[in-house]
A and B are shown apart, each in its own frame.
Chain A
Amino acid sequence: MFKYIFKRIMQAIPMLVIISIICFGLIQLAPYDAVDAMTTPNMSEKTVELIKARYGLDQPAYMQYFYWVKGILSGEWGYSIVTHESISKDLSVRIPNTIILVLPAYFIALVLSVILGLIAGARKGKLADKIIDGLSSFGIAIPSFWMAMVLIFIFGYQLNLFPILGMHTIGSEGSFSDLFIHLVLPTTVLTLSFMPELVRYVRSSTIGQLSEDYVMVQQAYGAPSIGILFNHVLRNVLLPVITIVGMSLPMLVTGAVVTETVFGWPGIGTYFVKSIQGFDYPIIMAIMLLSSSLVIIGNLLSDILYCIVDPRIKGMGE
């Protein structure tokens, strides 16, 4: 098993290198000069040259790549053209904000989806399935910004139960209950937007598993259908879900762009949208690098998890 995990990690590294080269190439092609982020128009040419030399920007591209990688690895992600702020500093504030929004939402969506998907799959064609499957189709079709607005209108405006904007009420930044009440609406929107596809996946996977021979064998030995579902089918259904969970890792960064924007949530999403509006290339590139690396890392993690959970893969390479 460790051999497999080691091999898998070794495969992921060149992928990350390739991604970094592509990202760097795109940065080079982008219509801006990295030094712009650190200079002001009224600096003398000499000063600009000095700054360029200091950051290695006067070197050939391949040398710059190494400087850039070194910077990325040591947390030096460059500066915003617009605000001249350090990107890594901004990210270190923004990413946790997005994570506290996305992570609970994803977790709730996952748990609910497994339950609903199992019910729908086990009762295929019956009323429960029709309701769950029907609502899922509905959910896939509804754009999350629309749902966000409807929720804001009903719960934020008409019933006035929840705040509709931001993360804190001014003045009570440290209060958890204040944060929680701000979280309710965006988390609901995110949960509902994550759920439909997960429900459908679990449902079809359950239907597939229920037609397997081992289920019939268990029936032939008088196992009650609930017992078959939880003792036998559930594990087989959850196994492929691991892949989906792993693949969702980039969502921690880019999973809530629309929702954050609608709710004015100070996370990566709003940061990303703002930087696009301001042609703030260094930030766009940084987020691109981050999310594409997370795709590779997510894949790696799900492979490793798979290997730990699935006895058939565990035995491989031994």
Chain B
Amino acid sequence: MKINVDKESSLLEVKNLRTAFYDGKTKTEAVRGIDFSVKKGEILGIVGESGSGKSVLVKSILGIVPSNAKVDTGEVILDGRRIEGLSKKEKRLIRGKDIAMIFQDPMTALNPLKKAGDHLIELLVRVRGIKKKEAKQEAIELLRMVGIPSPETRVDQYPHEFSGGMRQRVLIAMALACNPKLLIADEPTTALDVTIQAQILELLKKLQREKDMSVVLITHDLGVVATICSRILVMYAGMVMEEGMANEIFYSPKHPYTKALLNSIPRVDGEKTRLKPIKGSAPSLKNVGKGCPFADRCEFAFDRCFTEVPQYNTFSATQRSMCFLAEEEVKN
């Protein structure tokens, strides 16, 4: 089914996605009606605190939510194809072939009893249909491409013989093995040392350019986003608070939450000021109120914020924000 011919530049479109966790009769909505799109060849950053539903969002897109969670509504359109309309098998084949994903913790993401190379070979045989014999050579090439030294010996080593950074490289190699159109990186650097983080981000950026993939980078680290993302989605409590190009988000944020986030990161330039943490903690999704999810912690909140969920205000072709306050009223 080919739709949205006019929006040819967007690779992935997600409309009104809702995912909830079910525990007996209690329903906890982790993703509450999210719309976004990923354009061809861009790096989109999704930022938000822990528990804001970032990971659940992308897992819902891939269809790999945990067994106690369910995608309730939502439309996912990949390259003009609606994913819901596909059979179970076709959906499965999209994973890997069209969308590949790298995970947060490289230490546990590989099967401890399988060689690094076997992980790659299995994928090359299944997704790309390469013969097993040639697949090993290809696996070595992939390991070389992601910057693993002496890949000829590394290919026959087990995951425990790799460091965290090297394992993340193996996982990136797995993603590349599938030649995906979209790479989702779910906090790929959270579990790594700072120096390794920079290397991995650099690698992702380089590969994105070489392979002309789109990348969705999930992180709670605004520094990471600033390094490589062209567009940013700010999530809070399962909703998109603000969306915009990187410079719009960093230099003219419209949503109080985005501003609060930016105020809470240290700056190396300019005058020394105290960091302003956001008061309170991320809301429990078990009992969400009627209003704006951020209202409880927002320093600009007024009565209406607690009773009604705001609509999006559009500020430019690329920037929108979910807040009642117009730009002028939100003071810095």
Interface residues of A (CB under 8 A from B): 212-214, 216-224, 227, 231-232, 235-236, 239, 310-312, 315
User: Are A220 and B111 touching (Cβ within 8 A)?
Assistant: no
Interface centre among A221, A224, A235, A310 (most CB of B within 10 A): A221
Using Cβ atoms and an 8 Å threshold, which residues of chain A touch B174? 217, 221
Q: Which residues of A are found within 8 Å of B95, using beta-carbon distances? A: 219-222
Cβ–Cβ < 8 Å partners of B123 in chain A: 221
In the assembled complex, B64 has its CB within 8 A of some CB on chain A: yes
List of B residues within 8 angstroms of A231 by Cβ: 122
Tell me whether B92 is interfacial, beta carbon within 8 Å. yes
With A216-B64, A220-B96, A224-B92: A312-B105 Cβ-Cβ less than 8 Å:
no
Residues A219 and B112 in contact, CB atoms below 8 Å apart:
no
CB of B86 closer than 8 Å to a CB of A: no
Smallest CB–CB gap between A241 and chain B, Å? Answer: 13
Alpha-carbon distance between A312 and B160 when the two chains are bound, in angstroms: 7
Q: A214-B108, A236-B111, A311-B113 are in contact. List 13 more A-B contacts (CB 8 A).
A: A214-B111, A220-B62, A220-B64, A221-B95, A222-B92, A222-B96, A222-B126, A223-B122, A223-B126, A235-B111, A235-B114, A239-B113, A310-B113
B97 touches A222 (CB 8 A): yes
A316–B93 CA distance with the chains assembled, in angstroms: 39
A231 to B114, CA, bound (A): 9
CA distance in complex: A311, B122 (Å): 19
In the complex, residue of chain B having the shortest beta-carbon distance to the beta carbon of A212: B108
Q: Per a CB cutoff under 8 Å, which of B97, B100, B113 touches A236?
A: B113
- Within the complex, the shortest CB–CB distance from B316 to chain A, in Å, comes to 34
Interfacial chain B residues near A212, Cβ < 8 Å: 108
- 15 contacting pairs across A/B (C-beta < 8 A): A213-B105, A214-B108, A214-B109, A214-B112, A216-B103, A221-B95, A221-B101, A221-B127, A222-B93, A222-B97, A223-B96, A231-B122, A232-B114, A311-B112, A311-B160
Question: In the bound complex, do residue B100 and residue A220 qualify as a contact, i.e. CB atoms below 8 Å apart?
Answer: yes
**B307: min CB distance to chain A, Å:** 39
The CA-CA distance from A216 to B165 in the complex, in Å, is 20
Cα–Cα, bound, A232→B97 (Å): 20
Q: Which of A217, A220, A315 contacts B110 (CB 8 A)?
A: A217
Whether the pair A213, B109 counts as a contact (CB closer than 8 A) is yes
**Known contacts A213-B105, A311-B158, A312-B158; is-contact A221 B100 (Cβ 8 Å):** yes
Q: Annotate B84-99 by CB proximity to A: 1 below 8 A, 0 otherwise.
A: 0000000011111100
At the interface, yes or no: B17 with Cβ under 8 Å from chain A? no
CB-based nearest B residue for A125:
B67
CA distance A214 to B116 in the complex (A): 12
CB of B178 closer than 8 Å to a CB of A: yes
Query: Shortest Cβ distance from A187 into chain B, in angstroms?
Result: 33
**B327 interface residue (CB < 8 Å to A):** no
Q: B161 at interface (Cβ–Cβ under 8 A)?
A: yes
For the complex, give the distance between the alpha carbons of A217 and B110 in Å: 8
- Which chain B residues border A224 with CB–CB below 8 Å? 92
Question: Chain B nearest CB: distance from A38 CB in Å?
Answer: 56
Among A220, A224, A239, the most chain B Cβ lie within 10 Å of the Cβ of A220
Hey, which chain B residues are within 8 Å of A222, CB to CB? 92-97, 126-127
Instruction: Write the chain B residue with the least CB distance to A231.
Output: B122
- C-beta contact mask, B156-191 vs A, less than 8 Å → 1, else 0? 001011000000000100100010000000000000
Q: Least Cβ distance of B138 to chain A in Å?
A: 16
Cα–Cα, bound, A216→B62 (Å): 11
Chain B min CB distance to A130 (Å): 16
Residues A221 and B114 in contact in the complex (CB < 8 Å), given A213-B109, A214-B109, A216-B103 = no
Please name all residues of chain A whose beta carbon is closer than 8 Å to the beta carbon of B96 when the two chains form the complex: 220-223
Chain B residues with CB under 8 Å of A235's CB are 111, 113-114
